[in-house]
Amino acid sequence: MQSLQDIDWNTWQGKDPATLTFIIKDEQILLIRKKRGLGAGKINGPGGRLEPGETMLECAIREVQEELCITPIDPIFCGESLFQFTDGYSIHVHTYMAHDFEGTPAETDEAIPLWFPLDGIPYEEMWADDIVWLPEMLKGSQFKGRYLFDGDRMLDHHLDIF
Ligand SMILES: Nc1nc2c([nH]c(=O)n2[C@H]2C[C@H](O)[C@@H](COP(=O)(O)OP(=O)(O)OP(=O)(O)O)O2)c(=O)[nH]1
């Protein structure tokens, strides 16, 4: 498996459905330093895997509550990212954006909250694909991306924007 063409995307299904949620307020974006799980040590948006019986939106809200002790208000769906890893793992990430929240962001055992200006997003500390799609999301585009990873290394990618 070396390129996206080696994968049958018509039948592809991620092993884990998951969410990511970005809170954007006053020209700043709320990110986390992730303390554990997939991508530990990286900077990312809060998020995680879908639990049985919940909708994607419920998952998006719950993960922000669990990781940062705040509740995003009216998250809207922005796009999806399909990640295939060469070891066989795959994850289908549904991404949301919210412009407000209730509560005060706090560090938890999963994450440290960090605010960044929108023109100072630390892509070098994030997953390699984020610089491909996050700028499109911030411009207001919907997106669907496909990515092939070998561990942390992005081997191939393709992004559609709408
Ligand atoms: N920005 C970005 N996020 C990614 C990429 N790949 C990837 O899995 N993620 C996100 C999706 C999920 O929000 C998160 C992985 O889930 P997680 O390990 O935090 O799941 P979880 O909270 O259920 O974890 P756990 O309790 O099972 O440890 O990482 C990527 O390439 N870029």
Helices (H), 8-162: 56-68, 130-138
Question: Residue 1 — pLDDT band, cuts 50, 70, 90?
Answer: confident
pLDDT confidence of residue 38: 92
- Report the distance separating Cα 123 and Cα 77, nearest Å: 22
pLDDT confidence of residue 60: 98
Taking the centre of ligand 1 as the mean of its atom positions, its distance from the CA of residue 40, in whole angstroms, is 9
- Beta carbons within 10 angstroms of residue 102's beta carbon: 9
Taking the centre of ligand 1 as the mean of its atom positions, its distance from the CA of residue 2, in whole angstroms, is 23
pTM over 0.90: yes
The residue-averaged pLDDT of 35-58 equals: 97
Taking the centre of ligand 1 as the mean of its atom positions, its distance from the CA of residue 43, in whole angstroms, is 11
Does residue 127 line the site of ligand 1, with CB under 6 A? yes
Assign 56 to helix, strand or coil: helix
- The pair phi, psi for residue 48, each rounded to 5°, is 175, -170
Choose the residue to mutate in 20, 29, 112 for probing ligand 1, maximizing ligand atoms within 8 Å of C-beta. 20
Summarised one tens digit per residue, pLDDT across range 90-141 is 999 999 999 999 999 999 999 999 999 999 999 999 999 999 999 999 999 9
CA distances to 11, 16, 107 from 2, rounded to whole Å, are 18, 21, 38
Residues β-bridged to residue 161 = 143
Task: Select 15-161's CATH number: 3.10.129.10, 1.20.210.10, 3.30.200.20, 3.90.79.10.
Answer: 3.90.79.10
Summarised one tens digit per residue, pLDDT across range 48-100 is 999 999 999 999 999 999 999 999 999 999 999 999 999 999 999 999 999 99
